[in-house]
Chain A
Amino acid sequence: MALQASGAISMSQINTELGRSSTAAIQLKKAEDGDYGTINHSGGHSGGSPYSMSEWYTYVHFPDLVEPAGIIDFWDARVQGLSANDWKSIYGNDTVMSLNNSPTHNTSAPNNFSLDGTNDYIETDDDMTLGSRWTIAIWLRHTATQSNDYERILGMISHQFDIAEDTSGKMRIYDGGWSTVTAVGLDGADWQHLVVTYDSGGGAGATMKIYLDKSLASTTGDGRTVSGKRIFLGCQQYGAENWEGEIGQFILWGQALTGGQIETLWGNDKVYFDE
């Protein structure tokens, strides 16, 4: 099979080329990042990191979705990280998140961390600076009606920007005051891709956009600059108003992605989260 100079080769192409009875191995290499190891047709993986097919999937698709530059960190539940209580970013600043009070790591596709909505949460070990232009992207799945109207999917120290789900399944945001985003329902039975972008506008007026499953659901002048604060998933600062649901992927950018980029991002993992 002739390899193209850039871009992606899908597994279906490889399967077609090798056929069901092939004994060939697929060697995965990327010049700038080293040897990704070998995946044999039946023998599993050998070679260097990453250590599973699903982890390789994460790595191999990732270069497509980070253009242009500006990514801060990328956490994916297919790659947990350092230890049972850590979730390490696989791109950007390699920031580690602590898994507090035993979120369940579900390791069958789509891999995710399940939060029971009582006291478990995930927290960045370091302060995060998103700046005056940023994007927050989360693959999530609501698993129950929330027990109050401000159960946090995402929180920050000093509440610089919080994302909550209310008892009706609607999204609420906090940026100095609460707003209900009635166009965004987070109570779907399936996995949902929630993306919030913010651009301060440099004096021309701020714009915050919210996308649900690649579609622009809301455009407002809300949002604000985020600088130097730890971020929490599943609770507000320091653990309270806990959200019940599952989180499969969490990405931060120091820029406001475009609608086209968000559609690409959604497309990269839609099939995986539909498994």
Chain B
Amino acid sequence: MYENREYVVFNVSEKDSIDYDEVLENSADTLRLSLDGEKTFIKYDGDMPDSVSSLDTKEAVRSHSEIRELLGTDDWNANGSIAE
């Protein structure tokens, strides 16, 4: 279902460089962050948008299965740990 979707991880410090009309995220406020708060990612369908291409800290493009694998790691997933 997500064969045409791509995901790009980058440093949170560049979140305001994204044009949120070009990507599938609503805004900088709805981005998912890594547990240390240093990384985030955006997604888009089709070609990479200009504002994503311009990011200095972007990592290699990931597929849906590749980003899901990353998000299952301890860097991104609290694994049920809760501090109420």
The chain A residues found within 8 Å of chain B, CB to CB, are 85, 98, 100-102, 104, 114, 116-120, 143-144, 147-150, 158-159, 164, 172, 174, 176, 178, 239-242, 244
Contact = CB atoms under 8 A, between A and B. Distances in A.
B54 interface: no
Contact of B68 (A100, A117, A176): A117
B1 A143 contact: yes
Given A144-B68, A239-B30, 18 more contacts: A101-B24, A102-B26, A104-B1, A117-B68, A118-B41, A118-B43, A118-B64, A118-B67, A119-B30, A120-B24, A147-B71, A148-B72, A150-B79, A174-B82, A178-B80, A240-B77, A240-B78, A241-B80
A118 B65 CA distance: 10
A119 B32 contact: yes
B61 interface: no
Interface in B1-15: 1-2, 5, 7
A143 B25 CA distance: 21
Contacts of A240: 32-33, 76-78
Given A159-B82, A240-B78, A114 B25 contact: no
| A contact patch SS | loop
Interface of B: 1-2, 5, 7, 24-26, 30-33, 41, 43, 64, 67-69, 71-72, 76-80, 82, 84
B64 A158 contact: no
A178 B80 CA distance: 8
A114 B76 CA distance: 22
Contacts of A164: 80
A149 B26 CA distance: 27
24 contacts: A100-B26, A101-B25, A101-B30, A101-B32, A101-B43, A102-B26, A104-B1, A117-B71, A118-B7, A118-B71, A119-B30, A119-B31, A147-B69, A148-B77, A150-B79, A150-B80, A159-B82, A159-B84, A164-B80, A174-B80, A178-B80, A239-B32, A240-B32, A241-B77
A104 B43 CA distance: 13
A1 B44 CA distance: 53
Contacts of B30: 100-101, 119, 239
A80 B39 CA distance: 32
Contacts of A239: 30, 32
Contacts of B33: 240
A118 B77 contact: no
A244 B68 CA distance: 9
Contacts of A144: 68
A92 B2 CA distance: 35
A102 B25 CA distance: 6
A240 to B, nearest CB: 6
Nearest to B29: A100
Contacts of A118: 7, 32, 41, 43, 64, 67-68, 71
